[in-house]
Amino acid sequence: MNAHQRDRGAITVVMMFLLIITLMGAGLVVDGGRVMVARRHAYNTAEAAARAGVATATPMSGFDRTKAGAAALDHALRAGIAPADVRVSVTADHVSVTITERRRTVFLILGGVDTATITVTGTARLAYST
């Protein structure tokens, strides 16, 4: 057996490793970017919804918890979040909105991860300015 026959197929193994590394890198870049975008959208929406709930209060009318919760939920729904993915919690001086977003993966599906789930909470505190 000569040297040429012993090396036969060696480049195939190297190319397979390079392909796997390339797909893993693409998965990190593409799917990681999708997760970051989903997290930012969910966080911005949760914070804005919490602020919308707190904004219903005035020094004259006070803070109506029911009205604040409805305003926060309405804001999240208008931003395109499904009702099942929004939780609103209202205390005496805080409105907290928890939003769950799900994004389909592009490359990580090859590793068995077909959906990335992100859950974030935004909170606003009631404060009257004088």
pLDDT in tens, 20-44: 888 888 888 888 899 999 999 999 9
Distance between CA atoms of 74 and 81, rounded to whole angstroms? 10
The tens digit of pLDDT for each residue in 69-93 reads 999 999 999 999 999 999 999 998 8
12-41 burial, b for 16+ CB within 10 Å, e for fewer? eeeeeeeeeeeeeeebeeebeebbeebbeb
CA nearest neighbour of 101 among 84, 114, 119:
119
Q: Is the pLDDT of residue 123 over 90?
A: yes
pTM: 0.79
**Helix or strand holding residue 49 (H, E):** helix 10-54
Q: Is the pLDDT of residue 3 over 70?
A: no
- Cβ partners under 8 Å of residue 98, min gap 6: 46, 86, 87, 88, 89, 119, 120, 121
